[in-house]
Amino acid sequence: MPRDSISKTAQVNMQMLAELGVPEALHMRDALALEGNPLEVFSRLPLARLIPLCVSCISEILYQSANDLILEADNPTILDVACGYSPRVLLMAPQGYTYIGADLPDVTADLQERRSSIVPPDAEWLAGYTTADATDQERMETILVALREEVTVVTQGLLSYLLSYLSLEEKLLLAEGIRGLLQRNGGCWIIPDTDPDSMLMDTFRAVLGKRATGVFEGVYRIVDKLVGRDRSKMGWQNAGEVADALRELGFVVRRVPLWRDGLELRCMERVGDEAAERLRATWAEKSSLVVSV
C-alpha cells in the first residue's frame, strides 16, 4: 500500500472519533496536527456527506466496546496491534496500564516523532507508553520477551476491516504468535470486528435505509483498490469463520455481543432516534471475540 494510503487508513478511526467529540481523540488529533479528511476519497459517491457519519458509528462502537472488554479483562499490559493513531493510550495508560502500540513503520515513526505532543511532558504514565514497528521482528521479539505480566492483545481492524489485505497465511502466523505470547504470559486476545463486510453494509442500511446498497458497493470498490485487496485469498471474514479457525489452533473462544446495554455512544445523537434503534438491533446480532489459551 502506498505510504499516503497507509497514513490515511491509520487516521480514519481517530478522526471519526474526534468528529464525534470523544475527548482523547480530540487531543490526539490536535497533537498530531493532522490535515485533510481521510474519507475525501469517497467524495464523488452518492450521499458522500453521510459516509463519514456511517463510518463514525462503526469507529465508535468498535472502539468503545473493545475498551469495555479491555477493562473487564484488567490485564496489566495492553498490546494494541494495528493501533493506527488510536487515542486508546490516552484512556488506558493514565489508569496504570502499560500500553504498547504496534503498527506499520510509517505510522509508528510518526507517533514516536510526535510523542512529546501526544503525552504531557509531566505525565506520570509516560514510561508506560511504547510504540513499535510491527514489521521489525527483532524489535517486537525484544519487547514481547521482556513482558512478565498478563497481556490483553487487541487487533481492531487487523484481521478483516481496513487492513483486510492480509492473506490467510499471514493471519495464521499472527494467531500463532499471539498464542505463544498468551501461553507464556496469560491474558486474552480481543477481536472486536469479526464481520467486516456485513458490519459496514448493515450499519449503512441502519443509517441510510434503502439507499445504503449503492453507497456500500461504491465504498468497497474504492477500499479494495486502495489497499490492494484480493478477497479470494483473505479467509476469516465472519465471526463464525474466525472462531472456528482459532479453535482449530487450540484457542478458547468466547463470543460477546458487539452491542451491550450500558454503552453510551455519541453517534446515536447524530443519527436520530429511529436509526439509533436500528443500529442497536443490528449490532446486538454481531459478535466480538475474547480469545484465550
CA–CA dist 219, 212 (Å, integer): 10
Using the Cα atoms of residue 203, residue 222, residue 87 and residue 101 in order, give the sign of their dihedral: positive
pLDDT at 252 over 80: yes
| Contact of 190 with 66, CB cutoff 8 Å | yes
Q: What is the mean pLDDT of residues 241-246?
A: 87
CA–CA dist 133, 109 (Å, integer): 8
Q: What is the mean pLDDT of residues 95-111?
A: 90
Where residue 47 falls among pLDDT bands split at 50, 70, 90?
low
Q: What is the mean pLDDT of residues 49-58?
A: 86
pLDDT at 42 over 80: no
Q: What is the mean pLDDT of residues 1-24?
A: 76
Which of 190-194, 221-225, 257-261, 269-273 shows the lowest per-residue confidence on average (mean pLDDT)?
Answer: 221-225
Residue spans per domain, the chain: 3-292
The dihedrals phi and psi of 271, each to the nearest 5 degrees, come to -90, -15
- State which fold the 3-292 domain adopts: Rossmann fold (3.40.50)
Which of 42-51, 66-75, 115-124 shows the lowest per-residue confidence on average (mean pLDDT)?
Answer: 42-51
What's the mean pLDDT when you consider all of the chain? 83
Q: What is the mean pLDDT of residues 159-181?
A: 70
User: If we measure between CA atoms, which residue out of 168, 154, 185 comes closest to residue 288?
Assistant: 154
The structure's pTM equals 0.88
Helices 51-73 and 3-19, packing angle to 10 deg:
80
- Helix or strand or coil: residue 223? helix
CA–CA dist 255, 279 (Å, integer): 19
